[in-house]
Amino acid sequence: MKIIAILDFQQVIINGGKDVIARHGLYADRLSERTNHKFALKILTTGELSHVAPEHRELFLRISRTGPSFVRNIIALRRFISNNRNIYLIVSGDVFTSGLQALLSQIFSGRKIPIQYQVHADLAARGWASHSLKNRLKFLIAYLVIKNANNIRTVSNRQSENIKRIARRKALIQVVPVPLNTPTTLNSNKEFHDPFTIGILGRVQKDRGISLIDCFAKEFERENVKLKFIFAGNGVDDSTIQDICAKFPSSIEFENLGFLASDELHKFWNKTDCLLNLAPFESYGRSMREAMMLGIRVISVPNSGSLDLLDEVGPDWLSLWTPSANVTAPALVRKVKSLDKGTPHPLFSGAGSQNIEKLIQSWIDCH
């Protein structure tokens, strides 16, 4: 049986919660079905397996007990490559730490096993590398990995075009959208809330454009429009939220739901009339697509993910906003309120399963 091995040295999968583990279990089942049980999926990890449900435990292979140690994990992966002749593909979930570990392990093992490098960040977009010192350092690592990569997996068309500027000419670049989370509870409320509620989902940090919330909110001050912001997501910090919202006009309310697991996200969606995405660099924008699965319109700053999505759904579903734009935030909200709410966009019906099939096919096609 041929093995497709996903690297999880950073323990993102094994410590990602039951939903993340179950999703990879689904990948393993679909891969086995598609290949008539000729392929098996294994997740190479350094984490503890004790908390993993019994039905998913054999999905993981603990090849090192050193934790996220850069050098020792390279040694462990080189040993795994050298000792297993049935490896079909190694999948690196990024082109940073895991990508560099995969590249060096391949070199040291002396075997030319195909490696598929997943690129999540829109790191080749103009301005990404210069956005911060951290981004500059990450870009240097990614540049080294991508220049030596034969197989690259991206999540959107514009991101792929950006990657082509730094990739090898003969590299296989496959666009595989991120599998969407099918909502467990559809938003049955087709009426807008009073006040109109704008949802912000994800990390509340500078690299996600959080400073633009103040600019967005102040555009409503002149018109004295009642409005509410609702925040939810990993990394949401109460003090940061308080600092931002303290600058809001008195007519604007806010609510912070904090981190919500995927089976709790209906608490956010059911209170949201429109999703706001302020990330300056977004390669795909899963939350924007999941909002549309619930019939919720989106306002976003221009980035690779939103521009690709705009091509797919049109301006009735996604409106672009920038602080210097001629069209103001209040005008965009009025536009959203003039359209219906709660009717899912047909483009995303069954998108979750379709994207999983594309993912599995990209693994099979890697040779």
Span between the terminal Cα atoms of the chain, in Å: 16
- Residue 96 contacts by C-beta under 8 Å, 6 or more apart in sequence? 138, 141, 142, 145
Q: Per the structure block, which two tokens stand in for 88?
A: 């079909």
Q: What CATH number labels 196-347?
A: 3.40.50.2000
Domain spans in the chain, listed from the N-terminal domain onward: 2-181+352-364, 196-347
Output the CATH code of domain 2-181+352-364.
3.40.50.2000
Quick count: other Cβ atoms within 10 Å of Cβ 277? 25
Contact 156, 175 (CB under 8 A): yes
Q: pLDDT digit string (tens) for 69-114?
A: 899 999 999 999 999 999 999 999 999 999 999 999 999 999 889 9
Range 4-31 average pLDDT: 92
d(CA 136, CA 138): 5
User: How far apart, in whole angstroms, are the C-alpha atoms of residue 68 and residue 187?
Assistant: 40
Quick: pLDDT tens for 252-306: 888 888 888 777 888 999 999 999 999 999 999 889 999 998 899 999 999 999 9
Q: Are 279 and 303 in contact (CB under 8 A)?
A: yes
Cα atoms found within 13 Å of the Cα of residue 254, Cβ hemisphere only: 20
